[in-house]
Amino acid sequence: MRLTSLLKRRQKAKRKPPPEETPRATASAIKRALRNLPSNGNSHAAAVLGQSIATALSTIETAVLAIDAVNDSLREAAGLVSEAAKTDNPGRRALLAGRFDDVRSEIDATVGSATHNRVNLINGRLIGGKTSTFDVALDLEGRSGIAISVVNLTTGARGLSLSPPRTAFAEDEEITMILSEIDQASSRITDVSIRFADHAAFIANRLGHLQQQAGTQIIQSHLPTGADAEDPAQGIGDAQRPLDLSVEITEPAPHPLERDTGTA
């Protein structure tokens, strides 16, 4: 999935945030925040900062590609469990349960391989064993930036909470329970996708401003998406391609500014 399609999907999502979420910033507030970021006339400095931000954007895209793959796996899982609910044949149910367990393993493998620049935003682990947020500096002085919280999208209890088919779908109660778990997991995936799209849109805006300051110097990601996967076979579909920075970044949908420590 391209980052552009993610942003378009975010614009179409007319969802109200839960009361406990931080209210989304308005488009005008985002523009004011970007205008108040320090403007460095040095085109080289803008290009250097832009490369760092482009790499951060590529890190988010790596996570987004994995999230999309997990969503596809959840749809397959739902189909398997629904099919099991329609048959009384124990052998058929066991066969479907075996495939369902394989899908659970595939989800964990996908999440585990969603690393870029040694950062995985969806495996629930501390980045570098130290922090639970991915901090993206938006100026060279570090006075302004955003912090992206790491989420857990593994199938474990602290992630999507997808139970294994312990009775091989022999019991209807297990089938009903797992169908409910899949529905909750799908909702969580949607929420995470929208939040990451918010972050990506804001960062892409800042990147666009820096490209203007950099002039003829082309800003590119330091690493292509998924470039530092330990095993090349762990790549996520087209995740090995370089980040496409030609996204439409001039008029983003409203999205939150999670942290801005610059002067308002």
Summarised one tens digit per residue, pLDDT across range 55-113 is 888 899 899 999 999 999 999 999 999 999 999 999 999 999 999 999 999 999 999 99
- pLDDT for 241 beyond 90: no
What's the rounded Cα separation, in Å, for the pair 164 and 73?
A: 15
Q: Write the pLDDT tens digit of every residue in 9-18.
A: 544 544 444 4
Classify residue 193 by burial, with Cβ atoms within 10 Å: 0-12, 13-18, 19+.
buried
Per-residue pLDDT, 223: 53
Predicted confidence at residue 23, as pLDDT, reads 43
According to the model, what pLDDT value does residue 139 have?
74
Cα torsion 238, 240, 243, 246: sign: negative
Write out pLDDT tens, residues 190-240: 999 999 988 888 888 777 766 666 566 555 555 544 444 444 334 433 333
Phi and psi torsions of 82, nearest 5° = -65, -40
Can you give the pLDDT at residue 231? 41
User: Taking residues 136-163, what's their average pLDDT?
Assistant: 88
The span from the CA of 131 to the CA of 124, in Å, is 11
Is the pLDDT score of 262 beyond 50?
Answer: no
155 band by pLDDT with thresholds 50, 70 and 90 = very high
Instruction: Say which CATH superfamily domain 3-11+26-240 falls into.
Output: f41 fragment of flagellin, N-terminal domain (1.20.1330.10)
- The pLDDT value recorded for residue 200 is 86
Contacts of residue 171, defined as CB under 8 A and 6 or more positions apart, other chains included, come to: none
CB 47 within 8 A of CB 214: yes
Of the two residues 220 and 258, the one the predictor is more confident about is 220
Kindly give, in sequence order, each residue whose CB lies less than 8 Å from that of residue 188, ignoring residues fewer than 6 positions away. Answer: 153, 160
Instruction: State the pLDDT at residue 250.
Output: 32
- CA dist 84 and 222 (Å) reads 47
Q: Taking the CA atoms of the chain, what radius of gyration do you get in angstroms?
A: 21
CB count within 10 Å of CB 247 equals 22
> How many angstroms separate the Cα of 264 from the Cα of each of 23, 143, 161?
18, 12, 41
Query: What's the token pair of residue 106?
Result: 């595939």
Q: If DSSP codes are grouped into helix, strand and coil, which group holds residue 63?
A: helix
Query: What is the mean predicted confidence (pLDDT) over 102-131?
Result: 95
CA distance to 14, 69, 77, 92, per residue, from 72 (Å): 22, 5, 9, 23
Q: Which residue has the higher pLDDT, 188 or 9?
A: 188
**Predicted local confidence at residue 109, as pLDDT:** 97
Q: Of 162 and 248, which is predicted with more confidence?
A: 162
Give 22-32 pLDDT, tens digit per residue. Answer: 444 444 444 44
- pLDDT of residue 1 exceeding 60, the answer is no
Instruction: Express each pLDDT in 32-65 by its tens digit.
Output: 444 444 444 577 776 667 677 788 888 998 999 9
Helix ranges restricted to H, the chain: 3-12, 27-36, 43-85, 90-112, 172-214
What is the rounded average pLDDT for all residues in the chain? 74
Least confident of 22-31, 89-98, 140-149, 157-166: 22-31
| Main-chain phi, psi angles of 23, to 5 degrees | -55, 145
Whole-number Å distance between alpha carbons of 204 and 42: 20
Q: Are 124 and 77 in contact (CB under 8 A)?
A: no
